[in-house]
Chains A and B, each alone.
Chain A
Amino acid sequence: MPIRFEDKTARFDGACTVDEAIPLAEWLEATEAPQLDLGRCTGLHTALLQVLMAARATVAAEPEDAFLRAWVMPALVSP
């Protein structure tokens, strides 16, 4: 599974696909102050992105992937 849910942190690994949107949304909803570890994320499906944006989750580790860091991160941290 590219996304591992560990206690209060979701760790994204590799290319994360649309299949994980529902589990992710459910986890975010159930978890208090969820944290995101995008460090090893190389691809984020739009559906996942919008769930993250809607949930306003905290990004604990920024992605190393240049595209995600440059263009997706601002969308995740902006209010």
Chain B
Amino acid sequence: MSALFDQFVVEARELLEAAGASLLRLERNPSDMGAVNDLFRAMHTLKGATALFDMAPFTLLVHAGEDALMAVREGRSAITADLADRLLQLLDLGAVWVDRLEAEQVLPDGAEAMAREHQALLRAALGGAGDGDAGDLGASFSWVEDLTEAERRETGGRALTAVAYDPHADCFFSGDDPLALCRRIPDLLLLRIEPVGPWPALAEMDPYHCALRFRALSAAPKEDVARLFRSVPDQVRIATVTPRKAEAKAPASASAASVPATAGDDLAEAILREQAHILGLGGSAAEVAARQAAVLRAVRNVLTALGRVEDVAALERVADTPEALARFIGDLTGGGNRTETPSPTSIPALTPVPIPAVAAPLGRRALRVDAERMDRLMALVGELVVAKSRLPYIAREAQAGQSPDALAQSIKDAHGQIDAIVGELQDAVLRLRVLPLSRVFEPLPRLVRDTARRLGKSVELTLSGEETEADKDILDVLGEPLLHLVRNSLDHGVEPPDLRRAAGKPETAAIRVQAFQDRDGVVVEVSDDGAGIDAGAVRRKAVERGQIAADQAAALTDAEALRLVFLPGLSTAEDVTDLSGRGVGMDAVRNAVEQAGGRVEIASTRGAGTSIRLVLPATMMITRVMMVETAGALYGLPVTLVTGMQRVARDAIRRVKHAESVVLHDAVLPLLRLRRLLGLPEDDRPATHEAVLVVDLGGHRVGLVVDAFRERADVVLKPMAGVLARLRGYAGTAVLGDGRLLLVLNLRELL
């Protein structure tokens, strides 16, 4: 779309994030007026931005938030945890909408209903009169049924758009002129101007205090009318209605007692039909679920308003799936001869309708680049252009019969020059992609707040080192595991307040997340002062699950036993809780980190807490590999996995059947041979020693027998593509300086 729209998407995201951060700040310290003001400003700016485009529901949504904040700012309401929850949900919905807008330029269907829903919830949280959606709608439009006969003739019984416009009392001060607005209603069929209350004596009247309300009917489609009122979404209600013709009598139905009641039913039916329509809309699973909840509430309100108690009960029975709900609504609205109380059997058997499970698209963020870094890149490209122009000159020299020695020298000079520039260029490009870790830290305060609140724990989160920088790809890898670790700490690490009190600890637990740059790359450490992990219990579990032999388990040091939590089997939820340890998805964390060429370390003290370290390379583009030779070919292993190299005498290797092991540094290491793993012929060369590479595979260490050690190298790792992608034993390929291809192994898959 337009540049303006792109700008809006970027800005809206930033504003939503800023609002979220301010909100958390405010909740921690409700008297922080600075936070209220920041939050209010963010909302207000966002509202202004949405009003630039045709997205009334978004404006309405943000406006609802702004209203609530206004109440807080003016001291009419306190910022309660409930209110904060609602506001956070509102911001979440806003974020979802921005993503959607970016992808499809339009808001999801049913956005307006969602916005109203949030508005009502916010009002409820503020303690105001937050009537149900449908109830309000019914009250607002009951006047349509009270039209005079002349007015009815005017409208001719067509489907019309009804407008109930109740301007704010102080609307003149915001420059509104409601009457002028009504003048612009397209295809206006009817306009009623009514005083809100009895008129005061003229002397006591404040002319600047709007005391009128407007009721209008238009033949224009609802959207057209809604567009007109988009600057005052909170003061207007717009609906499609069909006023009954004067002579039309209500059809004789069992429930129809009087004309007005039937007329009300008609509106109810229109609302119900709309709900069925909303249910039928596609979208992500989350959207569908959100809509289902909204629809359920609306239908319940309608039925309650109509006094159909039995139907409400029936509704609760079908509330679980959107299909059943849709069918139920269909039964309610289907034809004029509906039964008063549909028995459960009248609801057809459920046939599972697949809900399109669209993965929520990840919000693409604009990469903000320092102007300086951009300039440096530009300068380097300039140098490259100059250096390039030397080559034709050398070609001419060659044609002119220049001596080979002189030519070689010229080429070497040119190469040296270009090489230096390319090196710098590569560095400059990498720097473009380098971002501060604050980006992955951002969701943590919210996560801790929400989870702690849910679990009834009191937790103080400390973040440090947000300014540490890492490659964008690394940040992407880091995000998910980090959330996992913090969630684990909250769930299993940190004890409930009473236990903490009993253990003589402060009730408020501390979770620290710190990042720093290390020789190996970026280190992110998540530590808590919780219960810690019982290494003995981990050992027992691992043995029970058959992942490790009992004697092996006994031989492990506590530190080594802790690493067992990274084994896949130990990560199901129930073990975790009775281990009072962690482990939910710990293998997933380890996998993600190792796939990025990093590693995970764990340390824990019973009763004092746990700390888990993620060590990641600073950039994923350059991987440092250890090269080994086997069967005449070169293979690479990520250096981060290698913990040692050793030449081991052949007679020191113990053999039990086919399983080999060796004792290194007082620990028994299972020994594996790379030739066997790769299905290559056995090494039949006579030798007294074997080259053994000690690799740490997260849960356990193994010795890998190779033919020979070679040097380390920094390579640009390219993942396997196409058919080769199915060869899971390889992490990728890299071209070495001499043009040879290096296969980099994915040991975990190989073993």
* Of listed B167, B188, B205, residue having the most chain A CB within 10 A: B205
A51 in contact with B193 (CB, 8 Å): no
Enumerate 11 A-B pairs (CB-CB under 8 Å) in ascending A order: A46-B167, A47-B172, A48-B207, A49-B193, A50-B195, A50-B207, A54-B202, A54-B205, A67-B188, A71-B188, A75-B194
Query: Would you call A21 an interface residue if the criterion is a C-beta within 8 Å of the partner chain's C-beta atoms?
Result: yes
Query: A49-B193, A53-B199, A71-B193 in contact; A21/B167 too (CB < 8 A)?
Result: no
Q: Mark A13-44, 1 if CB is under 8 A from B, else 0.
A: 00000100110110011000000000000011
Measured CA separation A22–B106 after assembly (Å): 45
Given contacts A18-B177, A54-B200, 13 further A-B contacts (CB under 8 A): A22-B207, A25-B202, A25-B205, A47-B207, A47-B210, A50-B210, A53-B193, A54-B199, A54-B202, A54-B205, A54-B211, A55-B202, A67-B188
Query: Would you call B4 an interface residue if the criterion is a C-beta within 8 Å of the partner chain's C-beta atoms?
Result: no
Measured CA separation A22–B205 after assembly (Å): 10
Measured CA separation A54–B179 after assembly (Å): 16
A-chain residues with CB within 8 Å of residue B195 when the two chains form the complex = 50, 53-54
Nearest CB in chain B: distance from A59 CB, A: 14
Chain A-chain B contacts (Cβ-Cβ < 8 Å), number: 68
Given A25, A28, A43, A53, which contacts B180 in the complex, CB threshold below 8 Å?
A43
Measured CA separation A22–B199 after assembly (Å): 16
A-chain residues with CB within 8 Å of residue B178 when the two chains form the complex = 46
Given B182, B188, B191, B211, which contacts A50 in the complex, CB threshold below 8 Å?
B211
Query: Would you call B183 an interface residue if the criterion is a C-beta within 8 Å of the partner chain's C-beta atoms?
Result: yes
Question: Within B163-216, which residues are at the interface with A (CB < 8 Å)?
Answer: 167, 172, 176-180, 182-183, 188, 191-195, 199-200, 202-203, 205, 207-208, 210-212
B-chain residues with CB within 8 Å of residue A47 when the two chains form the complex = 172, 207-208, 210
Q: Mark B197-241, 1 if CB is under 8 A from A, else 0.
A: 001101101011011100000000000000000000000000000
Nearest CB in chain A: distance from B173 CB, A: 10
Query: Would you call A4 an interface residue if the criterion is a C-beta within 8 Å of the partner chain's C-beta atoms?
Result: no
Query: A50-B210, A54-B199, A75-B193 in contact; A45/B205 too (CB < 8 A)?
Result: no
B177 in contact with A71 (CB, 8 Å): no
Nearest CB in chain A: distance from B225 CB, A: 16
A44 in contact with B207 (CB, 8 Å): no
B208 in contact with A21 (CB, 8 Å): yes
Q: Which residue of B lies closest to A18 (CB)?
A: B172
A46 in contact with B177 (CB, 8 Å): yes
Given A25, A70, A71, A74, which contacts B207 in the complex, CB threshold below 8 Å?
A25
Measured CA separation A47–B172 after assembly (Å): 8
Nearest CB in chain B: distance from A38 CB, A: 13
Query: Would you call A72 an interface residue if the criterion is a C-beta within 8 Å of the partner chain's C-beta atoms?
Result: yes
B179 in contact with A44 (CB, 8 Å): yes
Query: A18-B177, A46-B172, A71-B193 in contact; A51/B205 too (CB < 8 A)?
Result: yes
Measured CA separation A70–B211 after assembly (Å): 21
Nearest CB in chain A: distance from B146 CB, A: 15
Measured CA separation A21–B173 after assembly (Å): 13
A29 in contact with B202 (CB, 8 Å): yes
Given A21, A29, A44, A53, which contacts B203 in the complex, CB threshold below 8 Å?
A29
Nearest CB in chain A: distance from B204 CB, A: 10
Measured CA separation A44–B210 after assembly (Å): 14
A51 in contact with B207 (CB, 8 Å): yes
B210 in contact with A46 (CB, 8 Å): yes
B-chain residues with CB within 8 Å of residue A48 when the two chains form the complex = 207
* Of listed A18, A21, A25, A46, residue having the most chain B CB within 10 A: A46
Measured CA separation A28–B201 after assembly (Å): 11
Query: A43-B180, A67-B183 in contact; A49/B205 too (CB < 8 A)?
Result: no
A72 in contact with B177 (CB, 8 Å): no
B-chain residues with CB within 8 Å of residue A67 when the two chains form the complex = 183, 188
Q: Which residue of B lies closest to A29 (CB)?
A: B202
* Of listed A49, A53, A54, residue having the most chain B CB within 10 A: A54
A-chain residues with CB within 8 Å of residue B177 when the two chains form the complex = 18, 45-46
A-chain residues with CB within 8 Å of residue B167 when the two chains form the complex = 46
Measured CA separation A24–B172 after assembly (Å): 16
Nearest CB in chain A: distance from B87 CB, A: 33
B202 in contact with A50 (CB, 8 Å): no
Measured CA separation A66–B179 after assembly (Å): 14
Measured CA separation A50–B179 after assembly (Å): 10
Measured CA separation A24–B65 after assembly (Å): 38
Measured CA separation A22–B188 after assembly (Å): 30
Q: Which residue of A lies closest to B216 (CB)?
A: A71
B179 in contact with A24 (CB, 8 Å): no
A49 in contact with B202 (CB, 8 Å): no
Q: Which residue of B lies closest to A43 (CB)?
A: B180
B-chain residues with CB within 8 Å of residue A70 when the two chains form the complex = 191
A-chain residues with CB within 8 Å of residue B192 when the two chains form the complex = 75
B208 in contact with A28 (CB, 8 Å): no
* Of listed B177, B188, B205, B207, residue having the most chain A CB within 10 A: B207
Q: Which residue of A lies closest to B173 (CB)?
A: A18
Measured CA separation A65–B501 after assembly (Å): 78
Measured CA separation A48–B472 after assembly (Å): 60
B-chain residues with CB within 8 Å of residue A22 when the two chains form the complex = 207
Nearest CB in chain B: distance from A34 CB, A: 10
Measured CA separation A59–B210 after assembly (Å): 22
Nearest CB in chain A: distance from B167 CB, A: 7
